[in-house]
């Protein structure tokens, strides 16, 4: 009993919404919370029944004591009415004894009632939390599923954008390669054109006395040009 009453403040102050807000995966945690709450509720129900029974027993003992007090007070009055003060004193002594006992019974009953109230509060709080979670469970899981789907869509979209950027870069490099090839082809075409002017012939014969390395280069160039 003492242990479960120690949990009273924790259960009463617990905020299911706050717990779900802190959870990394509400869909998984909501099932775990429901499991924990149902286990706690089963324990609380059992304890509540026992505490309520104790409260009822203490109430009956206190009420019975009060009836006895009233009974002996009535007997004392009847004894006085009959002219017997001695008998009246006996009845009043019993009444005082019962009143002293009644004060203790009242304290015991008050404690039992307070404990029963706490147990009922715990019971009602747990039932309310369970009903709330059951009502929200489907909605919470649906939201989590949508969120996870959205994350996947975002990842795919990001990958597509990245791929698009890669293709654009590739196309720029391809265009640059085409330009370089066109320039090289143009140079080859220009170099391949025959030049029969006197100036070209003079240059040709001036180069005839070049070194062996230049002669080799010239032979290679002529071979390339088909001369």
Residue-wise DSSP of the chain: -HHHHHTHHHHHH--HHHHHHH-S-HHHHHHHHHHHHHHHHHHHHHHHHHHHHHHHHHHHHHHHHHHHHHHHHHHHHHHHHTT-HHHHHHHHHHHHHHHHHHHHHHHHHHHHHHHHHHHHHHHHHHHHHHHHHHHHHHHHHHHHHHHHHHHHHHHHHHHHHHHHHHHHHHHHHHHHHHHHHHHHHHHHHHHHS---SHHHHHHHHHGGGS-HHHHHHHHHHHHHHT-
Stretch among 80-89, 102-111, 137-146 having the lowest mean pLDDT: 137-146
- pLDDT tens-digit series, residues 26-72: 667 778 878 888 888 888 888 889 999 999 999 999 999 999 999 99
Residue 133 scores a pLDDT above 60: yes
Q: What was the pLDDT predicted at 53?
A: 94
pLDDT band at 138, cuts 50/70/90? Answer: confident
pLDDT band at 132, cuts 50/70/90? Answer: confident
């Amino acid at each position: 009993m003492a242990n479960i009453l120690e949990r009273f403040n924790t259960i009463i102050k617990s905020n299911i919404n706050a717990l779900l807000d802190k959870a990394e995966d509400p869909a998984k945690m909501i099932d775990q919370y429901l499991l924990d709450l149902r286990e706690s509720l089963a324990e609380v129900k059992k304890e509540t029944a026992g505490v309520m029974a104790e409260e009822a027993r203490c109430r009956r003992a206190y009420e019975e004591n009060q009836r006895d007090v009233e009974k002996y007070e009535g007997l004392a009055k009847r004894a006085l009415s009959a002219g017997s003060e001695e008998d009246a004193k006996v009845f009043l002594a019993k009444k005082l004894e019962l009143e002293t006992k009644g004060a203790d019974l009242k304290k015991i009953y008050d404690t039992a009632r307070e404990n029963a109230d706490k147990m009922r509060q715990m019971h009602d709080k747990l039932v309310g939390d369970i009903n709330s979670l059951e009502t929200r469970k489907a909605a919470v899981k649906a939201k989590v599923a949508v969120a996870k789907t959205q994350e996947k869509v975002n990842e795919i979209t990001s990958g597509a954008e990245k791929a698009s950027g890669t293709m654009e870069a590739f196309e720029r490099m391809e265009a640059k390669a085409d330009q370089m090839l066109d320039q090289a082809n143009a140079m080859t075409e220009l170099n391949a054109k025959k030049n029969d002017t006197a100036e070209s012939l003079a240059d040709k014969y001036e180069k005839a006395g070049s070194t062996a390395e230049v002669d080799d280069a010239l032979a290679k160039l002529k071979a390339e040009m088909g001369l």
